[in-house]
Amino acid sequence: MDPILVLIVVIVGAVVFTGLVYVGMKEDKSKDPLQERLAQFADRDEMLSSLEDIELSLSFRDRVILPMMKQLAKTTARFTPQKQLEETRHQLELAGMSTDPAAFFAMRVILTAVLVLLAFFIFFLNSPSTAPGMALLYTIGAGFLGYILPNMMVSSRIRRRQENIWKALPDALDLLTICVEAGLGFDMAMGKVYEKWDNELAIAFGRVLREIQLGKLRRDALRDMANRMDVPDVTAFVAA
């Protein structure tokens, strides 16, 4: 089998699998799928014979994928240093991702295992002409790819998000200035930015406003926003 073709298959498989696992982990933490289904049946005045019927009415993602990922995430968190979890949490925040860091590590474990098994099957079992040493090298390389690919995806999202924020900042500052000069308070001016645009910076302003409404000091909310972006111009704006 052509090694280049195999490499392409492995890379494409890794990307697709990572995407599927990531989508599987993007559940709304504020909602319980089982409670949602119970509410739906209650609204329709339907009677179910047992809890098993309700569980079977859930999607495969809610019944199998999410519970499996949560359990694996808990197990992974027990063996991961807290400092590393916090560093990963910060990287995910910079990327604008709400994924739990333990779940992110679990995704890396799953992807690494899948690619190692795939490479083992291809090079050891399905390609006897491949020298054992090269087969082992390919298998190790596949495992390494599975381990670093999620980090590469996060780093790419961080760069893209920071660039979008940097591009959106001048227009946002102009609107803030106009609103403040027109007599609006700073919080209301941020609200205007949030209402006018649907970009990363506007979404961040919306989060700041919600945090202020919940009792956080404005300067603390803005500082936390800057930390979640790590964009020098935003940091300078917050410090001004």
Domain shared by 151 and 202, yes or no: no
State how far the Cα of 59 lies from the Cα of 62, in Å rounded to an integer: 5
Domain shared by 188 and 151, yes or no: no
Q: Which domain holds residue 26?
A: 3-158
Per-residue pLDDT reduced to its tens digit, 146-169: 888 888 989 999 999 999 999 999
166 to each of 52, 170, 190, 200, how far by Cα in Å?
51, 8, 17, 10
Can you give the pTM of this predicted structure? 0.69
Per-residue pLDDT reduced to its tens digit, 200-231: 999 999 999 999 999 999 999 999 999 999 99
Closest-CA residue to 110 (of 64, 161, 148, 147): 147
Question: Is residue 1 pLDDT above 90, yes or no?
Answer: no
Domain shared by 141 and 210, yes or no: no
Provide the percentage of residues in the chain whose pLDDT is more than 70: 69
The predicted pLDDT at position 175 comes to: 92
The answer to the question of residue 196 being in a domain is yes
Question: Is residue 142 pLDDT above 70, yes or no?
Answer: yes
The predicted pLDDT at position 47 comes to: 45
Q: Average pLDDT in the 27-35 region?
A: 47
Domain shared by 104 and 144, yes or no: yes
The answer to the question of residue 166 being in a domain is no
The answer to the question of residue 171 being in a domain is no
Domain shared by 113 and 231, yes or no: no
Domain shared by 149 and 211, yes or no: no
Q: Average pLDDT in the 28-40 region?
A: 50
Domain shared by 45 and 143, yes or no: yes
Helices (H), the chain: 3-25, 33-43, 51-56, 60, 66-78, 82-94, 101-120, 132-181, 186-196, 200-213, 218-229, 232-239
Domain shared by 126 and 26, yes or no: yes
Of 112, 140, 158, the last residue of a domain is 158
First-to-last alpha carbon distance for the chain, in angstroms, is 61
Domain shared by 140 and 202, yes or no: no
The predicted pLDDT at position 29 comes to: 45
Per the document, the length of the chain is 240
Span of 9-23, 83-97, 176-190 with lowest mean pLDDT:
9-23
Token output for 86: 């916090």
Domain shared by 71 and 113, yes or no: yes
Whether the CB-CB separation of 181 and 192 falls below 8 Å is answered with no
More confident residue, 92 or 5: 92
Of 143, 158, 173, the last residue of a domain is 158
The answer to the question of residue 29 being in a domain is yes
Per-residue pLDDT reduced to its tens digit, 56-93: 555 666 666 667 767 777 777 777 788 888 898 999 99
Span of 5-9, 45-49, 175-179 with lowest mean pLDDT:
45-49
Of 124, 143, 158, the last residue of a domain is 158
Q: Average pLDDT in the 6-24 region?
A: 59
Whether the CB-CB separation of 164 and 199 falls below 8 Å is answered with yes
Going by pLDDT thresholds of 50, 70 and 90, the confidence category of residue 28 is very low
Total count of domains within the chain = 2
The answer to the question of residue 152 being in a domain is yes
State how far the Cα of 98 lies from the Cα of 89, in Å rounded to an integer: 9
The predicted pLDDT at position 94 comes to: 92
